Structure 1
Amino acid sequence: MTERQRARRPGGRSARVRAAVHRAVTDLVTERGYGAFTVGDVAARAGVADTSVYRRWGTLESLLIDVVITRLTAGSPIPDTGTLKGDLRSWAANVARDITGDEGPAVLRLVVALSGAGEAGTQARDRFLDTRARQLQEMLDRARERGEDPPDVLDLVDHILAPMYVRVLFGAGPLSPAYVDTLVDRLLSPSADRA
């Protein structure tokens, strides 16, 4: 095994450094906001050298994008409860836990901030949206195969995700299990207008 392979093994020093740096980023976003800290601040908070951060990510923007993408792809598996309503309730509850957890609000703020920070930020935003759309489409396709009549992905974004994201980003209220279930129920109710 080469030195380079040893440095990249999962769970090794490289993984610990990455986790510490990612945590430092979300802590700093929470405390100071986007654009109010440097690579040096991240390195100091993570207990690593600036050069370690620069060597791995190159720029602060690349690091921030890595934090967003990593956090999004580490989500919960797509539920398969046997019904679209059950799948959506379970999935929405997982999303609510993710975005209200320790790092959730900071990651959402990063997505919003990065979306206006040039091409790389736009790509990060698009990957974020694509990740959510793929998860939703998988549930909708499975429901269709079972003979259910699911709404489309944008309906789920508009009626389930958007209200949750707005509540978290603007502190507009809690994401209680009852509230999250109500978002799903309203969308799937027979009187819901999908036109």
Structure 2
Amino acid sequence: MARRQMVRPGGRSTRVQQAVHNAVRELEAETGRDALTVPLIAQRAGVTPSTIYRRWGDLQELLSDVAVERLRPDTAPGDHGDLSADLTAWAEQFLDEMASPAGRAYIRDALLGDPDGSNAGQCSAYAAEQIDVVLARAAGRKEDAPDVETVLDRVVAPVMYRVLFRPEGLDSAYARGLVGRLLGADGVGDD
């Protein structure tokens, strides 16, 4: 929805967003997700319910916005010395975080309150940014590497499908296998 795009960064707007996001996280920890209401969140955040409705539209869109923030990576991917090790470590961590009960709940919330697809796009951008760091390191070491879109298609997409629809049996071996098939025996995908 356009309402999120029209919000100016900084100042009061940022303070309101932080207060409301903090209120959601605190109340969710205290009372559980099912007990959350806009008036309860507004009271905890020190804003009026109309502020939340004006900015987010409804509770589901607010929960979606909070989930997208929670899915934002905290740090850059680790440097393990070569593309295979870097991408494997990143894929294992990505799978572990997304397949966790909290990760799955955040994914569901991010998608449920996302009528225009902007939250899904933001989550995809987070993964692409992380992959770009890994691939830039590989390029700096003069290693052959696939492009970001290929990694998204052949590692991230299957992980997300499995997390959402077939979560049984997901483990680090699955992530390693995806990266291994992507890079192939010569270190670069066969695309």
Amino acid at match of 2:97: D
**For the residues of structure 2 that align with 1:26 and 1:93, how far apart are their CA atoms?**
29
In structure 1, what is the equivalent of residue 127 of structure 2?
132
Matches within 5 A, 1:49-88: 49=40, 51-52=42-43, 54=49, 57-58=52-53, 59-88=58-87
1:182 to 1:72, Cα distance in 2 relative to 1, 3 A: same
Give me the TM-score of the superposition, normalised by structure 1: 0.70
In structure 1, what is the equivalent of residue 9 of structure 2?
none
Per-residue CA shift, 1:48-89, capped at 9, x if unaligned? Answer: 825337366333244123222211214453111111111111
2:43 aligned with 1:43: no
Amino acid at match of 1:42: L
In structure 2, what is the equivalent of residue 108 of structure 1?
107
**For the residues of structure 1 that align with 2:52 and 2:30, how far apart are their CA atoms?**
14
Give me the TM-score of the superposition, normalised by structure 2: 0.72
Note if contact 1:84-1:150 (Cα within 8 Å) is conserved in structure 2: yes
**For the residues of structure 2 that align with 1:164 and 1:126, how far apart are their CA atoms?**
16
**For the residues of structure 1 that align with 2:120 and 2:164, how far apart are their CA atoms?**
15
Aligned residues: 168
1:74 to 1:22, Cα distance in 2 relative to 1, 3 A: farther
Per-residue CA shift, 1:102-153, capped at 9, x if unaligned? Answer: 31112222333344x1x3xx22111111111111111111101101011011
Segments of 5+ residues of structure 1 without an aligned counterpart are 29-40
Q: What is the RMSD of the two structures over their aligned residues, measured on CA atoms?
A: 3.2
Give the share of equivalent positions with the same residue, in percent: 27
